[in-house]
Every structure is written in structure tokens, then in C-alpha cells.
Structure 1
């Protein structure tokens, strides 16, 4: 299903409009992740650089977006997908032992997600063709976020995206 921005979202469920987070069985795992790893809105959460950390980051993002910030399911789906993409890139491409996840709500109705890792290798936005089976991560970040970028740090980099949520 394509959204108003023309981006295909096959994972979307039609018509969900709940504005507040209501726990379900799946959400218990999200709450457990928050308890075990910490709240990325309070301080940077350190996660091990393993494939299963993408699922942990998705659960943390779900808690933050729906429970803490009270945003609807559409924005939650987009944020969760983009968090997963940035975390997946950090796990796959940096060779790091761990990375950091931070989520902030900013003035002007914006949210920002930061994934910090010790590699100074820059991510590259590549053209995507319909039959490609990989390499879509930054393409999705570029299409679904309002802004994204990479800040080089003395030891590593911070890859981030921002989304306006006040008018969505």
C-alpha cells in the first residue's frame, strides 16, 4: 500500500487510527526491552552489535513512540522501520562491538533518532531497483524521514534522522 508520499508500505495495516499506546502480548517484549536496556529518551542506550539488536531497538522505539510520546500507529511504523534500518547498518557494516541508540523529541513537532557507532566509514545512499534484495535501508530513511544525515565524531559517527510529527 502506498502512502501519501508515494512510498510503498507493504507492512502497513489499513485504517489503524489509535492515538494512544495500549499494551498487548507483543508489547510485553517491548516493555521488557525498556527495562533491560534503558530508555533511549533519557540517555543513550548501548546495544551489542549483533543481528538480534535490531529487534531490541524496534521494541524500544515502539515503547517510546507509542507509550512515552503517545504518537499514532502510522508514525510508529515508520519510526520503527527506520530505527531498524539504521541499527541494521550499524551491525552489518561497522565491525563495532556495540553502538548507541538515542531518541529525542524536539521543538517544532520533530523527533530525532541517533545511532552512534565507532566506525568513521560513511553510509552511502545507493540507487534502488525494483528487483534489488538488499541496499534499501538508506533509501527508506531518505524517503520516509524529513531529514537525515551523518555527523563525524572524534571516534566514530552518528547517523540520524528526523521526522515532523505534529502534522502527521
Structure 2
């Protein structure tokens, strides 16, 4: 559920405060897009593991972000294909939100790894908080943060002086 200022996200039944929810009919996220082939995007736009990679805020950038995520998780960090698939889907959702809802010219993508965890961050200049929408079986959109909530171990929003960082974390098995 959406959190503020780096707060860890409560899981259902944990007894902590609920997420900020939007009214029905509010803008919703797009359905997940496919990963596409894992090419060598790190050479073209930079390495999100070394610092924030800035991408133009347009729909085509979701594909670049997916390819970057897949390249880092599969080739650089050598994580499982299933974990990479989930992370690619979640990146696509966060990037879709940044492109669709912020009106920004660019957004930032960064990936971090520490023992037992990976963290993926999408930064944009809007301070508007993302909305966790109630999801119905026949909905064709609005599932983005629902998927982030279900497939990640933790997620949240850090408000910045000029914008926000929306992030998710996933546990990994270190070898």
C-alpha cells in the first residue's frame, strides 16, 4: 500500500494505516506490457545500478526501462527469470504511471541491490501520490499498483523537495 517518506508498506492484516485510495473513475494505470528481447540497453542510456538513468517521459520509454531491468537482473545480477519477469512488469507499471500522470519531461530509473534484496526506483517531479485502486474482475485498467502491491515484498513513495520516488523491493536468494 502507498506509503510516505520511505515508510515500509504494511501487508494486509498488519493493523497499520491503509493506503491512499482514489475514487472510482480516477485515472488508472495501463495493463502490463511485454518484456521484449533483452538487448544491450546499458550501453545506450547508462547503467541504473551506478546512478539514476534519465529517460524521456513518453510511452516508448517503458520499453527501454523494461529492457534495462531485464538486462540488469538477468545478465548483471544473474537472478531467476521469474524474478526478472515480475520486476520487469512492476517497472513497466511505475514508468507508465510516471509518463501518464505527472506531465514531466523526464523521469529517473535506478536499481539497487543489497544482501537479500533488490530495490527499483522511479523518480519524477510530481508530488502527486499514486493511487492504489480497488480492482474488479472485469477491469481492463487500473491494476498497476495492485500488481506492485501483490508481486513485491515492499513498496512505497518517498516525497522529495521537488517530486517523488516510487519504489518497490523484492527479496532475492543470494548465492
TM-score, normalising length: structure 2: 0.78
Q: Does 1:146 align with 2:153?
A: yes
Per-residue CA deviation, residues 76-120 of structure 1 (Å, 9 max, x unaligned), is: 10000000000000000000000000000013x100000000000
Q: Structure 2: how far apart are the matches of 1:26 and 1:77? A: 12
User: Do the aligned partners of 2:37 and 2:67 also contact (CA within 8 Å) in 1?
Assistant: no
Q: Please point out which of 129, 132, 140 is paired with 1:133.
A: 140
Q: Does 1:165 align with 2:165?
A: no
Which position in structure 2 is the counterpart of 1:155?
162
More helix by share: 1
Give how far 1:35 is off.
1.0
Which position in structure 2 is the counterpart of 1:93?
101
Unaligned runs of 5+ in 2: 1-31
SS at match of 2:37: helix
The size of the alignment, in residue pairs, is 140
User: Do the aligned partners of 2:135 and 2:146 also contact (CA within 8 Å) in 1?
Assistant: yes
- Over aligned residue pairs, what C-alpha RMSD do you find? 1.5
Which position in structure 2 is the counterpart of 1:45?
53
SS at match of 1:47: strand
Give how far 1:72 is off.
1.1
Q: Please point out which of 71, 76, 97 is paired with 1:68.
A: 76
Q: Structure 2: how far apart are the matches of 1:105 and 1:56? A: 20
Q: Structure 2: how far apart are the matches of 1:124 and 1:80? A: 20
SS at match of 1:26: coil
SS at match of 1:46: strand
